[in-house]
Amino acid sequence: MQINLTGLGKRYNYEWIFRNLTYTFESGTAYAILGHNGSGKSTLLTILAGHNLASEGELSYLASGKTIAPDHAYRHLSLTAPYLELVEEFTLLEMLDFHTRFKPLRHSLSNLDLVDRMGLQKSKHKYVKDFSSGMKQRLKLALAIYSDSGMLLLDEPTTNLDQEGVAWYQEHIAQNREGRLIIVGSNIQHEYSFCDQQLRISDYHVNLDKRKP
């Protein structure tokens, strides 16, 4: 999986979030998008995921040397972020059944296998709405990390996790990074310590007269 950005920029009204971003993300490499809160990390990740549109520039996807239409990119990626919600009316097993209809799991894992890997065996029939915030975050991460997708986008992945949860994240991301394109949006070192490359979004900030487009 490869993503090519050429002159990419995003603005809201007349305020540019970032601009002139030219970069290539390649499979087999983990990237950290770094920056302070509000700097544009999440905005860039939503653009890469196809959930948001750039204001200028070009974005293209390649898989096995073939171009992927932007509106089909979602088939090749998994995304987790604090602003994405789970279906809380489902039990844990119902949530996994629903998710895997659209995204099968890696390594031919069963849903029960994934429950075991999350360490949530006692909660498999519990409603997601009754999960703690840490359990919900572990579930979000597991659905992303263990989906059979070539690209993994993680925005602030250890939000709501305690020290044990952070260790769980680090262990399972390490076990599932080979051959994938991984992009982490973060300003917390333990979330991106495994990454090979760093992109600082502040390098693409611009000082413009906000009255001008």
Is residue 213 domain-resident?
no
In the chain, the amino acid numbered 13 is: N
Is residue 73 domain-resident?
yes
Is residue 33 domain-resident?
yes
pLDDT at position 97, please? 97
The stretches in the chain having pLDDT less than 50 are 208-213
Number of domain units in the chain:
1
pLDDT at position 14, please? 87
Is residue 179 domain-resident?
yes
With b for 16 or more beta-carbon neighbours within 10 A and e for fewer, the 156-166 pattern comes to bbbbebeeebe
**Residue 166, domain CATH:** 3.40.50.300
Question: Strands, DSSP E only, in 86-196?
Answer: 151-155, 181-186
By residue range, what is the domain housing residue 8? 2-204
Is residue 90 domain-resident?
yes
Is residue 209 domain-resident?
no
- pTM for the structure as a whole: 0.93
Question: Strands, DSSP E only, in the chain?
Answer: 2-12, 15-26, 30-34, 56-63, 66-68, 77-80, 151-155, 181-186, 197-200
pLDDT at position 207, please? 61
How far apart are the C-alpha atoms of 152 and 86, rounded to whole Å? 18
